[in-house]
Amino acid sequence: MTKNLRTQELTELSLNELFQNHWTEVYSFAKTKTRNHHNAEDLTCETFIKAFLKIESYDPNKQFKNWIFKICKNTFLDNRRKASNKFSYLEDQLYFQINDTAPSPADQMILKEQYLKALKAIGQLNTDDEEIITLFYLEDLSYNQISADLNISYANARTKLSRAKHKLRDQLN
C-alpha cells in the first residue's frame, strides 16, 4: 500500500488492509477509553466506519494512526455526551435493583439460624472458653482488653482464644 491515500484508488482490498493494520492499535486505544471489551469493540467499529466514510479528508502529510486515533477519541466523547443526555430507562433501574446487596428474607433466616447454632455451641463450651469467645466475638474486645479483663498476658489471651476457637469449630462441625 502506498503512503499517499489520496492518489491511491480506494478499493475494498486497500480499506481491508488499513483495517487489518490498525485494528489492534485502535481497539487498545478504545479499551483504555471505555474500560470495557464490548464497548471498545463497538467504538473501534464505529471509528473505522467514520474513517472509511471520510477517508478523502485524510491529510497524507500526517500519520494515518494519529488521524484514526483522533476519530476514535472524538467518537468516544460524542458517545459519552449522548449517553449523559439520555433518560434513565426501566431496564437500567431494574439492573440496579437486582444488584442489591441486602440479604433476602431467606438469607436473613439462614443467618439467624447459623447465629443461634453458634450461640448454642458457645454455651456448651467450658466457662473459660465461653468467656473468651464472648469477649472477643460478641463484645468485640481486642486482645489487650481481654488480657486486662481476665488478668492474663497478651500471649495467653491469644493462645486461649485460639484453643477456644478450635473447640468451637469442632462442636459446629
Report the pLDDT value the prediction gives residue 99, as an integer from 0 to 100. Answer: 54
Report the pLDDT value the prediction gives residue 150, as an integer from 0 to 100. Answer: 92
Which comes out higher in pLDDT, residue 157 or 138? 157
Q: DSSP readout, 108-168?
A: HHHHHHHHHHHHHHHHTS-HHHHHHHIIIIIS---HHHHHHHHT--HHHHHHHHHHHHHHH
Report the pLDDT value the prediction gives residue 4, as an integer from 0 to 100. Answer: 46
Report the pLDDT value the prediction gives residue 87, as an integer from 0 to 100. Answer: 54
pLDDT single digits (tens) 59-101: 888 888 889 999 999 999 988 888 776 655 545 555 555 555 6
C-alpha span between 150 and 156 (Å, rounded): 10
Tell whether 3 is covered by a domain: no
- 122 and 151 together in one domain: yes
Tell whether 100 is covered by a domain: no
Among candidate residues 93, 124, 142, the one where a domain is terminated:
93
Range of the domain at 113: 108-172
C-alpha span between 77 and 42 (Å, rounded): 14
C-alpha span between 44 and 29 (Å, rounded): 9
Query: Mean pLDDT of all residues in the chain?
Result: 82
User: Is the distance from CB of 67 to CB of 59 less than 8 angstroms?
Assistant: yes
Which comes out higher in pLDDT, residue 19 or 77? 77
